[in-house]
A and B are shown apart, each in its own frame.
Chain A
Amino acid sequence: MNLPKQWRLKGQRYRLEGQRHSDGRVRFPAQPAKLGEASDAWQPYQLASTGELYSWTAQRSNRSEFDHEPIVLVGMIKLADGCMLTAQLTDCEPSELQIGMAMEAVTRSWGKVGDDDLLVYGYKFRPKLVD
Protein backbone atom coordinates (compact mmCIF):
# COMPACT_ATOMS: atom_id res chain seq x y z
CA MET A 1 0.00 0.00 0.00
CA ASN A 2 1.39 3.41 -0.87
CA LEU A 3 -0.10 5.15 2.16
CA PRO A 4 2.49 7.98 2.35
CA LYS A 5 1.74 8.90 -1.25
CA GLN A 6 -2.00 9.07 -0.65
CA TRP A 7 -1.40 11.23 2.42
CA ARG A 8 0.97 13.51 0.51
CA LEU A 9 -1.61 14.12 -2.21
CA LYS A 10 -4.53 15.02 0.08
CA GLY A 11 -4.26 18.77 -0.61
CA GLN A 12 -4.57 18.46 -4.36
CA ARG A 13 -7.15 15.72 -4.28
CA TYR A 14 -9.45 16.99 -1.50
CA ARG A 15 -9.09 20.74 -1.90
CA LEU A 16 -7.91 21.25 -5.50
CA GLU A 17 -4.79 22.97 -4.19
CA GLY A 18 -2.74 24.44 -6.99
CA GLN A 19 -0.61 27.55 -7.34
CA ARG A 20 -0.97 31.06 -8.71
CA HIS A 21 1.89 33.07 -10.18
CA SER A 22 2.38 36.75 -9.42
CA ASP A 23 1.48 37.43 -13.07
CA GLY A 24 -1.90 35.75 -12.61
CA ARG A 25 -1.23 32.35 -14.17
CA VAL A 26 -2.69 29.36 -12.38
CA ARG A 27 -1.41 25.79 -12.42
CA PHE A 28 -2.27 22.42 -10.98
CA PRO A 29 -0.98 20.66 -8.99
CA ALA A 30 1.43 22.57 -6.76
CA GLN A 31 4.96 21.84 -7.85
CA PRO A 32 8.52 23.06 -7.26
CA ALA A 33 9.76 26.12 -9.13
CA LYS A 34 10.98 25.43 -12.64
CA LEU A 35 14.62 26.08 -13.50
CA GLY A 36 15.18 29.81 -13.74
CA GLU A 37 12.13 30.68 -11.65
CA ALA A 38 12.30 32.34 -8.23
CA SER A 39 11.40 29.88 -5.50
CA ASP A 40 8.52 32.09 -4.34
CA ALA A 41 7.15 32.92 -7.80
CA TRP A 42 4.21 30.59 -7.27
CA GLN A 43 2.01 30.79 -4.21
CA PRO A 44 -0.58 28.30 -2.90
CA TYR A 45 -3.98 28.76 -4.46
CA GLN A 46 -7.26 26.88 -4.35
CA LEU A 47 -8.60 26.31 -7.85
CA ALA A 48 -12.05 27.30 -8.98
CA SER A 49 -14.44 24.39 -8.52
CA THR A 50 -16.48 25.09 -11.65
CA GLY A 51 -15.62 25.23 -15.31
CA GLU A 52 -16.58 23.82 -18.68
CA LEU A 53 -16.05 20.48 -20.37
CA TYR A 54 -13.13 20.77 -22.80
CA SER A 55 -13.02 17.14 -23.95
CA TRP A 56 -14.20 13.74 -22.78
CA THR A 57 -14.11 10.02 -23.45
CA ALA A 58 -16.08 6.97 -22.36
CA GLN A 59 -13.60 4.14 -21.82
CA ARG A 60 -15.04 0.67 -22.29
CA SER A 61 -11.73 -1.23 -22.09
CA ASN A 62 -10.22 -0.53 -18.73
CA ARG A 63 -7.24 -1.23 -16.53
CA SER A 64 -7.25 -3.99 -13.95
CA GLU A 65 -8.07 -1.64 -11.05
CA PHE A 66 -11.08 -0.29 -12.92
CA ASP A 67 -12.33 -3.23 -14.97
CA HIS A 68 -15.27 -3.79 -12.58
CA GLU A 69 -16.74 -0.61 -14.06
CA PRO A 70 -18.33 -1.11 -17.51
CA ILE A 71 -17.58 2.48 -18.53
CA VAL A 72 -15.07 4.92 -17.07
CA LEU A 73 -15.86 8.51 -18.03
CA VAL A 74 -12.87 10.85 -18.15
CA GLY A 75 -12.92 14.51 -19.11
CA MET A 76 -10.74 17.55 -19.35
CA ILE A 77 -12.17 20.56 -17.56
CA LYS A 78 -11.24 24.15 -18.27
CA LEU A 79 -11.85 25.82 -14.91
CA ALA A 80 -13.27 29.29 -14.45
CA ASP A 81 -9.81 30.57 -13.46
CA GLY A 82 -8.25 29.26 -16.69
CA CYS A 83 -6.55 26.18 -15.26
CA MET A 84 -7.05 22.88 -17.11
CA LEU A 85 -7.26 19.54 -15.38
CA THR A 86 -8.18 15.97 -16.18
CA ALA A 87 -10.79 14.26 -14.01
CA GLN A 88 -13.20 11.39 -13.86
CA LEU A 89 -16.74 12.43 -14.65
CA THR A 90 -19.62 11.29 -12.49
CA ASP A 91 -23.41 11.52 -12.06
CA CYS A 92 -23.96 11.52 -15.82
CA GLU A 93 -24.23 9.29 -18.89
CA PRO A 94 -22.05 9.61 -22.00
CA SER A 95 -25.10 10.71 -23.98
CA GLU A 96 -25.44 13.80 -21.76
CA LEU A 97 -21.94 15.08 -22.34
CA GLN A 98 -21.25 18.00 -24.64
CA ILE A 99 -18.07 19.99 -24.99
CA GLY A 100 -18.60 23.43 -23.46
CA MET A 101 -21.19 22.34 -20.87
CA ALA A 102 -20.87 23.69 -17.32
CA MET A 103 -19.24 21.34 -14.81
CA GLU A 104 -18.63 21.39 -11.07
CA ALA A 105 -16.29 19.56 -8.73
CA VAL A 106 -17.42 17.00 -6.17
CA THR A 107 -15.44 14.74 -3.83
CA ARG A 108 -15.95 11.05 -4.48
CA SER A 109 -14.24 7.71 -4.02
CA TRP A 110 -11.47 6.99 -6.50
CA GLY A 111 -11.25 3.37 -5.50
CA LYS A 112 -9.36 1.03 -3.22
CA VAL A 113 -5.62 0.78 -2.92
CA GLY A 114 -3.45 -2.10 -1.74
CA ASP A 115 -4.14 -5.39 0.03
CA ASP A 116 -5.95 -3.59 2.86
CA ASP A 117 -8.35 -1.87 0.45
CA LEU A 118 -7.50 1.64 1.57
CA LEU A 119 -10.32 3.86 0.31
CA VAL A 120 -8.96 6.80 -1.66
CA TYR A 121 -11.09 9.88 -2.26
CA GLY A 122 -10.55 12.81 -4.57
CA TYR A 123 -12.12 15.23 -7.00
CA LYS A 124 -14.47 14.27 -9.81
CA PHE A 125 -16.58 16.54 -11.97
CA ARG A 126 -20.24 16.36 -12.87
CA PRO A 127 -22.56 18.48 -14.97
CA LYS A 128 -23.34 21.61 -12.95
CA LEU A 129 -26.71 21.18 -11.19
CA VAL A 130 -27.70 24.85 -10.76
CA ASP A 131 -26.49 27.84 -12.75
Chain B
Amino acid sequence: MQQVFIAGTACTAVREHYDRSLLDLALEALHGAVGTLDPNLIQALYVGNALGDTLSEQSQLGAYIAGAAGLNCEAVRVEAAGASGALALRQGYLAIASGQADVVVVLGVEKATDKLDAALQAALALGLDGELERALGLTLTGAWALLMQRYLHEYQLPATAFAPFAVNAHTNGAGNRHALYRFAINAQKWANAGQIAEPLNMLDCSTVADGAAAVVLVSQRYAREVAQPIAIVGSATSSSNVALAQRSDLLWLEAAAASGNNALQQAKLKRDAINIIELSDPHGIAAALSLEALGYAERGQATQLAAEGVIAKDGALPLATAGGYKARGDVGGATGVYQVVELVAQLRGQAGANQIANAKTALAQCLGGVGATAVTHILQVAEV
Protein backbone atom coordinates (compact mmCIF):
# COMPACT_ATOMS: atom_id res chain seq x y z
CA MET B 1 0.00 0.00 0.00
CA GLN B 2 1.32 3.44 -0.91
CA GLN B 3 0.82 6.35 1.46
CA VAL B 4 -1.71 8.90 0.21
CA PHE B 5 -1.32 12.66 0.56
CA ILE B 6 -3.50 15.66 -0.13
CA ALA B 7 -1.84 18.34 -2.25
CA GLY B 8 -4.04 21.09 -3.68
CA THR B 9 -7.52 21.92 -2.36
CA ALA B 10 -10.21 24.42 -3.29
CA CYS B 11 -13.91 25.07 -2.95
CA THR B 12 -16.45 27.55 -4.22
CA ALA B 13 -18.58 29.65 -1.94
CA VAL B 14 -21.76 27.83 -0.95
CA ARG B 15 -24.61 29.86 -2.36
CA GLU B 16 -27.81 29.72 -4.33
CA HIS B 17 -25.79 30.16 -7.52
CA TYR B 18 -28.71 30.83 -9.85
CA ASP B 19 -26.37 32.26 -12.49
CA ARG B 20 -23.99 29.31 -12.52
CA SER B 21 -24.27 25.74 -13.77
CA LEU B 22 -23.00 22.51 -12.26
CA LEU B 23 -20.15 22.66 -14.75
CA ASP B 24 -19.25 26.27 -13.82
CA LEU B 25 -18.96 25.31 -10.16
CA ALA B 26 -17.03 22.11 -10.89
CA LEU B 27 -14.47 23.89 -13.07
CA GLU B 28 -13.90 26.67 -10.52
CA ALA B 29 -13.07 24.10 -7.85
CA LEU B 30 -10.91 22.04 -10.22
CA HIS B 31 -8.89 25.06 -11.35
CA GLY B 32 -8.33 26.06 -7.74
CA ALA B 33 -7.21 22.64 -6.55
CA VAL B 34 -5.06 21.72 -9.55
CA GLY B 35 -3.40 25.13 -9.69
CA THR B 36 -0.14 24.96 -11.59
CA LEU B 37 0.06 21.15 -11.59
CA ASP B 38 0.54 19.78 -15.11
CA PRO B 39 -2.94 18.37 -16.02
CA ASN B 40 -1.22 15.62 -18.00
CA LEU B 41 -0.14 14.08 -14.69
CA ILE B 42 -3.75 13.51 -13.60
CA GLN B 43 -4.58 9.84 -14.01
CA ALA B 44 -8.15 9.78 -12.75
CA LEU B 45 -11.05 12.03 -11.77
CA TYR B 46 -13.56 10.87 -9.17
CA VAL B 47 -16.73 12.94 -8.99
CA GLY B 48 -18.95 12.79 -5.92
CA ASN B 49 -22.47 13.94 -6.75
CA ALA B 50 -25.88 12.93 -5.46
CA LEU B 51 -28.49 14.80 -7.48
CA GLY B 52 -27.02 15.56 -10.91
CA ASP B 53 -29.15 13.18 -12.93
CA THR B 54 -32.35 14.34 -11.20
CA LEU B 55 -31.87 18.09 -10.77
CA SER B 56 -29.39 18.90 -13.54
CA GLU B 57 -30.70 16.12 -15.83
CA GLN B 58 -27.18 15.00 -16.59
CA SER B 59 -25.65 11.57 -16.08
CA GLN B 60 -22.09 10.41 -16.89
CA LEU B 61 -20.78 13.25 -14.76
CA GLY B 62 -17.31 11.73 -14.77
CA ALA B 63 -16.89 12.02 -18.51
CA TYR B 64 -18.98 15.21 -18.67
CA ILE B 65 -16.73 17.11 -16.27
CA ALA B 66 -13.47 15.51 -17.40
CA GLY B 67 -14.24 16.52 -20.96
CA ALA B 68 -14.95 20.11 -19.96
CA ALA B 69 -11.72 20.18 -17.97
CA GLY B 70 -9.70 18.87 -20.90
CA LEU B 71 -8.88 15.60 -19.18
CA ASN B 72 -8.81 12.33 -21.07
CA CYS B 73 -8.47 9.89 -18.20
CA GLU B 74 -10.43 7.49 -16.03
CA ALA B 75 -13.43 9.54 -14.91
CA VAL B 76 -16.06 8.12 -12.57
CA ARG B 77 -19.10 9.52 -10.82
CA VAL B 78 -19.66 8.10 -7.35
CA GLU B 79 -23.13 8.21 -5.76
CA ALA B 80 -24.14 7.46 -2.20
CA ALA B 81 -26.59 10.31 -1.45
CA GLY B 82 -24.97 12.77 0.97
CA ALA B 83 -21.88 10.58 1.29
CA SER B 84 -21.12 10.75 -2.45
CA GLY B 85 -18.16 13.12 -2.13
CA ALA B 86 -16.62 11.23 0.77
CA LEU B 87 -16.99 7.98 -1.10
CA ALA B 88 -15.38 9.56 -4.18
CA LEU B 89 -12.49 10.55 -1.92
CA ARG B 90 -12.24 6.96 -0.77
CA GLN B 91 -12.07 5.81 -4.41
CA GLY B 92 -9.29 8.29 -5.04
CA TYR B 93 -7.52 7.12 -1.90
CA LEU B 94 -7.74 3.49 -3.03
CA ALA B 95 -6.43 4.33 -6.49
CA ILE B 96 -3.27 5.84 -4.99
CA ALA B 97 -2.91 3.39 -2.10
CA SER B 98 -3.15 0.40 -4.43
CA GLY B 99 -0.38 1.76 -6.63
CA GLN B 100 -2.67 2.12 -9.65
CA ALA B 101 -2.11 5.87 -9.76
CA ASP B 102 0.18 8.59 -8.41
CA VAL B 103 -1.98 11.64 -9.05
CA VAL B 104 -5.78 11.76 -8.99
CA VAL B 105 -8.37 14.48 -8.48
CA VAL B 106 -11.49 14.14 -6.35
CA LEU B 107 -14.34 16.55 -6.95
CA GLY B 108 -17.57 16.99 -5.03
CA VAL B 109 -20.21 19.02 -6.81
CA GLU B 110 -23.90 19.69 -6.26
CA LYS B 111 -26.25 21.98 -8.14
CA ALA B 112 -29.41 21.99 -6.06
CA THR B 113 -31.20 25.20 -6.96
CA ASP B 114 -32.19 24.65 -10.58
CA LYS B 115 -35.55 23.34 -9.39
CA LEU B 116 -38.02 24.48 -6.76
CA ASP B 117 -37.92 23.26 -3.18
CA ALA B 118 -40.61 20.57 -3.51
CA ALA B 119 -38.63 18.99 -6.36
CA LEU B 120 -35.43 19.26 -4.31
CA GLN B 121 -37.14 17.49 -1.41
CA ALA B 122 -38.22 14.75 -3.82
CA ALA B 123 -34.66 14.35 -5.09
CA LEU B 124 -33.17 14.26 -1.60
CA ALA B 125 -35.69 11.59 -0.60
CA LEU B 126 -34.12 9.27 -3.17
CA GLY B 127 -31.65 8.49 -0.40
CA LEU B 128 -34.47 6.79 1.53
CA ASP B 129 -35.99 3.38 0.79
CA GLY B 130 -38.12 4.03 -2.30
CA GLU B 131 -40.92 1.54 -1.66
CA LEU B 132 -41.04 1.58 2.14
CA GLU B 133 -40.39 5.24 2.96
CA ARG B 134 -40.26 7.57 -0.02
CA ALA B 135 -43.56 6.31 -1.42
CA LEU B 136 -45.26 7.36 1.82
CA GLY B 137 -44.20 10.97 1.37
CA LEU B 138 -41.40 10.77 3.92
CA THR B 139 -38.66 13.35 3.31
CA LEU B 140 -35.03 13.07 4.36
CA THR B 141 -35.70 15.73 7.00
CA GLY B 142 -38.74 13.81 8.16
CA ALA B 143 -36.66 10.66 8.52
CA TRP B 144 -34.17 12.44 10.81
CA ALA B 145 -37.17 13.86 12.71
CA LEU B 146 -38.36 10.31 13.43
CA LEU B 147 -34.99 9.60 15.06
CA MET B 148 -35.05 12.83 17.04
CA GLN B 149 -38.60 12.23 18.31
CA ARG B 150 -37.60 8.81 19.58
CA TYR B 151 -34.36 10.16 21.08
CA LEU B 152 -36.27 12.82 23.04
CA HIS B 153 -38.62 10.13 24.32
CA GLU B 154 -35.95 7.60 25.29
CA TYR B 155 -33.72 10.09 27.08
CA GLN B 156 -36.48 12.40 28.37
CA LEU B 157 -34.96 15.52 26.82
CA PRO B 158 -36.56 18.74 25.55
CA ALA B 159 -35.99 19.60 21.89
CA THR B 160 -33.95 22.61 23.02
CA ALA B 161 -31.22 20.21 24.15
CA PHE B 162 -30.14 20.17 20.49
CA ALA B 163 -29.82 23.96 20.14
CA PRO B 164 -26.07 24.09 20.98
CA PHE B 165 -25.20 22.24 17.77
CA ALA B 166 -26.77 24.88 15.53
CA VAL B 167 -25.54 27.75 17.72
CA ASN B 168 -21.98 26.40 17.46
CA ALA B 169 -22.25 25.92 13.69
CA HIS B 170 -23.50 29.48 13.13
CA THR B 171 -20.84 30.96 15.40
CA ASN B 172 -18.22 29.27 13.25
CA GLY B 173 -19.94 29.96 9.94
CA ALA B 174 -19.71 33.68 10.62
CA GLY B 175 -15.94 33.38 10.19
CA ASN B 176 -16.01 31.41 6.94
CA ARG B 177 -16.19 33.51 3.77
CA HIS B 178 -17.46 30.48 1.83
CA ALA B 179 -20.36 29.87 4.21
CA LEU B 180 -23.96 30.28 3.11
CA TYR B 181 -25.01 31.84 6.43
CA ARG B 182 -22.46 34.15 8.04
CA PHE B 183 -24.36 35.18 11.15
CA ALA B 184 -24.62 33.95 14.69
CA ILE B 185 -27.80 32.70 16.34
CA ASN B 186 -28.61 32.03 19.98
CA ALA B 187 -30.59 29.40 21.84
CA GLN B 188 -33.59 31.71 22.24
CA LYS B 189 -33.83 32.33 18.51
CA TRP B 190 -33.47 28.57 17.96
CA ALA B 191 -36.32 27.85 20.38
CA ASN B 192 -38.64 30.30 18.59
CA ALA B 193 -38.09 28.89 15.10
CA GLY B 194 -41.05 27.40 13.23
CA GLN B 195 -41.44 23.67 12.78
CA ILE B 196 -40.29 21.97 9.56
CA ALA B 197 -40.78 18.34 10.53
CA GLU B 198 -41.70 18.15 14.17
CA PRO B 199 -39.62 18.13 16.36
CA LEU B 200 -37.08 19.55 13.86
CA ASN B 201 -37.44 23.31 13.54
CA MET B 202 -36.12 25.67 10.89
CA LEU B 203 -32.95 26.48 12.81
CA ASP B 204 -32.29 22.79 13.31
CA CYS B 205 -32.41 22.12 9.55
CA SER B 206 -29.64 22.85 7.08
CA THR B 207 -30.28 24.56 3.77
CA VAL B 208 -29.28 22.65 0.66
CA ALA B 209 -27.38 24.90 -1.73
CA ASP B 210 -24.90 24.85 -4.61
CA GLY B 211 -21.18 24.33 -4.41
CA ALA B 212 -18.13 22.39 -5.52
CA ALA B 213 -14.94 21.36 -3.78
CA ALA B 214 -11.88 19.53 -5.07
CA VAL B 215 -8.72 17.94 -3.75
CA VAL B 216 -5.65 16.58 -5.52
CA LEU B 217 -4.34 13.30 -4.09
CA VAL B 218 -0.76 12.21 -4.70
CA SER B 219 1.58 9.39 -3.77
CA GLN B 220 4.74 9.96 -1.74
CA ARG B 221 6.71 10.43 -4.95
CA TYR B 222 4.83 13.66 -5.65
CA ALA B 223 4.16 14.64 -2.04
CA ARG B 224 7.78 15.72 -1.69
CA GLU B 225 7.03 18.59 -4.05
CA VAL B 226 4.01 19.77 -2.03
CA ALA B 227 4.54 22.65 0.40
CA GLN B 228 2.40 21.27 3.25
CA PRO B 229 1.28 17.74 2.41
CA ILE B 230 -1.46 16.27 4.54
CA ALA B 231 -1.54 12.50 4.89
CA ILE B 232 -4.71 10.43 4.79
CA VAL B 233 -3.87 7.96 7.55
CA GLY B 234 -7.29 6.35 7.81
CA SER B 235 -10.02 5.67 5.27
CA ALA B 236 -12.99 3.39 5.81
CA THR B 237 -16.59 3.01 4.75
CA SER B 238 -19.44 0.85 5.89
CA SER B 239 -23.17 0.43 5.31
CA SER B 240 -26.37 -0.47 7.08
CA ASN B 241 -30.02 -0.88 6.07
CA VAL B 242 -31.43 2.06 4.16
CA ALA B 243 -34.95 1.54 5.57
CA LEU B 244 -35.21 2.82 9.15
CA ALA B 245 -37.75 0.16 10.11
CA GLN B 246 -35.31 -2.59 9.14
CA ARG B 247 -32.62 -1.44 11.57
CA SER B 248 -32.26 -3.36 14.79
CA ASP B 249 -31.69 -0.16 16.78
CA LEU B 250 -33.13 3.10 15.43
CA LEU B 251 -30.82 5.28 17.53
CA TRP B 252 -27.55 3.55 16.72
CA LEU B 253 -25.77 4.55 13.50
CA GLU B 254 -24.17 1.19 12.88
CA ALA B 255 -22.32 2.17 9.72
CA ALA B 256 -20.97 5.33 11.35
CA ALA B 257 -19.62 3.30 14.25
CA ALA B 258 -18.02 0.68 12.00
CA SER B 259 -16.39 3.09 9.57
CA GLY B 260 -15.16 5.31 12.42
CA ASN B 261 -13.64 2.42 14.33
CA ASN B 262 -12.04 0.96 11.23
CA ALA B 263 -10.51 4.29 10.21
CA LEU B 264 -9.08 4.86 13.69
CA GLN B 265 -7.73 1.33 13.76
CA GLN B 266 -6.07 1.79 10.39
CA ALA B 267 -4.52 5.05 11.58
CA LYS B 268 -3.41 3.35 14.81
CA LEU B 269 -4.99 6.20 16.75
CA LYS B 270 -7.28 6.40 19.74
CA ARG B 271 -10.24 8.73 19.42
CA ASP B 272 -8.75 11.23 21.88
CA ALA B 273 -5.90 11.82 19.41
CA ILE B 274 -8.34 13.67 17.15
CA ASN B 275 -7.97 17.46 17.50
CA ILE B 276 -10.83 18.54 15.27
CA ILE B 277 -13.82 16.85 13.71
CA GLU B 278 -16.32 17.22 10.88
CA LEU B 279 -19.56 15.23 10.89
CA SER B 280 -22.76 15.01 8.91
CA ASP B 281 -24.72 17.55 10.92
CA PRO B 282 -27.73 18.72 8.89
CA HIS B 283 -29.64 18.50 12.19
CA GLY B 284 -28.49 18.35 15.80
CA ILE B 285 -29.77 14.78 16.08
CA ALA B 286 -27.42 13.70 13.27
CA ALA B 287 -24.41 15.22 15.01
CA ALA B 288 -25.44 13.73 18.35
CA LEU B 289 -25.91 10.21 17.03
CA SER B 290 -22.61 10.43 15.12
CA LEU B 291 -20.74 11.52 18.25
CA GLU B 292 -22.25 8.57 20.10
CA ALA B 293 -21.46 6.13 17.29
CA LEU B 294 -17.85 7.33 17.26
CA GLY B 295 -17.59 6.83 21.00
CA TYR B 296 -17.18 10.48 21.99
CA ALA B 297 -20.33 10.34 24.12
CA GLU B 298 -22.28 7.63 25.88
CA ARG B 299 -25.66 6.93 24.36
CA GLY B 300 -28.08 9.70 25.27
CA GLN B 301 -25.27 12.01 26.41
CA ALA B 302 -24.18 13.79 23.21
CA THR B 303 -26.34 16.86 23.78
CA GLN B 304 -24.66 17.28 27.16
CA LEU B 305 -21.30 17.27 25.36
CA ALA B 306 -22.53 20.12 23.16
CA ALA B 307 -24.03 22.03 26.09
CA GLU B 308 -20.71 21.88 27.95
CA GLY B 309 -18.88 23.49 25.02
CA VAL B 310 -16.77 20.46 24.14
CA ILE B 311 -17.58 21.02 20.44
CA ALA B 312 -16.77 24.75 20.47
CA LYS B 313 -13.61 26.18 18.92
CA ASP B 314 -11.96 26.31 22.33
CA GLY B 315 -13.34 22.94 23.39
CA ALA B 316 -11.66 19.56 23.46
CA LEU B 317 -13.28 18.42 20.20
CA PRO B 318 -14.06 21.37 17.92
CA LEU B 319 -16.87 20.46 15.54
CA ALA B 320 -18.01 22.20 12.35
CA THR B 321 -15.30 24.83 12.51
CA ALA B 322 -16.26 26.16 9.08
CA GLY B 323 -19.96 26.20 9.93
CA GLY B 324 -20.98 22.61 9.25
CA TYR B 325 -24.09 21.79 7.24
CA LYS B 326 -26.15 24.36 9.13
CA ALA B 327 -24.11 27.52 8.43
CA ARG B 328 -21.61 26.61 5.70
CA GLY B 329 -24.56 25.11 3.89
CA ASP B 330 -25.56 21.58 2.96
CA VAL B 331 -23.91 20.84 -0.36
CA GLY B 332 -25.44 17.38 -0.76
CA GLY B 333 -23.06 14.98 -2.44
CA ALA B 334 -20.24 17.54 -2.42
CA THR B 335 -20.14 17.69 1.37
CA GLY B 336 -17.52 15.02 1.99
CA VAL B 337 -15.02 16.93 -0.11
CA TYR B 338 -15.88 20.25 1.53
CA GLN B 339 -15.22 18.71 4.94
CA VAL B 340 -11.74 17.67 3.86
CA VAL B 341 -10.93 21.00 2.22
CA GLU B 342 -11.92 22.72 5.48
CA LEU B 343 -9.91 20.33 7.66
CA VAL B 344 -6.83 20.64 5.46
CA ALA B 345 -7.01 24.42 5.92
CA GLN B 346 -7.05 23.83 9.67
CA LEU B 347 -4.10 21.43 9.58
CA ARG B 348 -2.13 23.88 7.44
CA GLY B 349 -2.89 26.79 9.75
CA GLN B 350 -4.86 28.56 7.02
CA ALA B 351 -8.31 28.66 8.62
CA GLY B 352 -8.21 32.36 9.46
CA ALA B 353 -10.66 33.48 12.13
CA ASN B 354 -11.70 29.89 12.76
CA GLN B 355 -8.19 28.48 13.19
CA ILE B 356 -7.81 25.86 15.92
CA ALA B 357 -4.39 26.16 17.51
CA ASN B 358 -2.03 23.21 17.11
CA ALA B 359 -4.45 21.06 15.15
CA LYS B 360 -2.42 18.10 13.88
CA THR B 361 -4.97 15.32 13.41
CA ALA B 362 -8.52 15.59 12.09
CA LEU B 363 -11.42 13.27 11.44
CA ALA B 364 -14.13 13.70 8.80
CA GLN B 365 -17.18 11.49 8.74
CA CYS B 366 -19.88 11.81 6.11
CA LEU B 367 -23.22 10.01 5.99
CA GLY B 368 -25.48 9.10 3.10
CA GLY B 369 -29.23 9.31 3.74
CA VAL B 370 -29.87 8.63 7.42
CA GLY B 371 -26.49 6.99 7.86
CA ALA B 372 -26.97 3.97 5.60
CA THR B 373 -23.59 4.81 4.10
CA ALA B 374 -20.84 6.16 6.32
CA VAL B 375 -17.38 7.20 5.21
CA THR B 376 -14.62 8.24 7.59
CA HIS B 377 -11.25 9.78 6.78
CA ILE B 378 -8.49 10.70 9.19
CA LEU B 379 -6.03 13.39 8.15
CA GLN B 380 -2.70 14.24 9.69
CA VAL B 381 0.04 16.80 9.18
CA ALA B 382 2.69 14.88 7.26
CA GLU B 383 6.45 14.87 7.25
CA VAL B 384 7.62 13.56 3.90
Contact = CB atoms under 8 A, between A and B. Distances in A.
Interface of A: 9, 12, 27-29, 54-67, 69, 72, 74-76, 84-88, 94, 99, 110-111, 122
A110 B132 contact: no
Contacts of B145: 57, 59
A76 B245 contact: yes
Interface string B135-151: 11111011001110110
Contacts of A62: 118, 121, 137, 139
A110 B245 CA distance: 19
A88 B134 CA distance: 11
- The 7 residue pairs across chains A and B that have the minimum distance between CB atoms: A57-B145, A64-B118, A55-B150, A63-B122, A66-B137, A58-B198, A84-B245
B292 interface: no
B250 A61 contact: no
Contact of B137 (A12, A59, A99): A59
B139 A99 contact: no
Contact of A64 (B119, B132, B147): B119
A123 B120 CA distance: 26
B314 interface: no
B84 to A, nearest CB: 20
20 contacts: A12-B131, A27-B246, A29-B132, A54-B150, A55-B250, A59-B138, A59-B145, A60-B194, A63-B125, A64-B118, A64-B122, A65-B137, A75-B146, A76-B146, A76-B250, A85-B132, A85-B245, A86-B245, A87-B136, A110-B135
Given A55-B147, A59-B196, 7 more contacts: A27-B246, A57-B149, A59-B139, A61-B196, A62-B139, A86-B136, A87-B136
A59 to B, nearest CB: 4
Contacts of B121: 61-64
Contacts of B133: 86
| Size category of the binding interface on chain B | 35 or more
B160 interface: no
Contacts, number: 104
A88 B136 contact: yes
Nearest to A78: B245
A75 to B, nearest CB: 8
B142 A57 contact: yes
Q: Is the interface of A mostly helix, strand, loop or mixed?
A: strand
Contacts of B125: 63
Contacts of A56: 146, 149
Given A60-B195, A63-B122, A28 B141 contact: no
Contacts of A59: 137-139, 141-142, 145, 196-197
Interface in B223-263: 243-246, 250
A116 to B, nearest CB: 18
Nearest to A124: B136
B153 interface: yes
Given A56-B146, A56-B149, A57-B145, A63 B132 contact: no
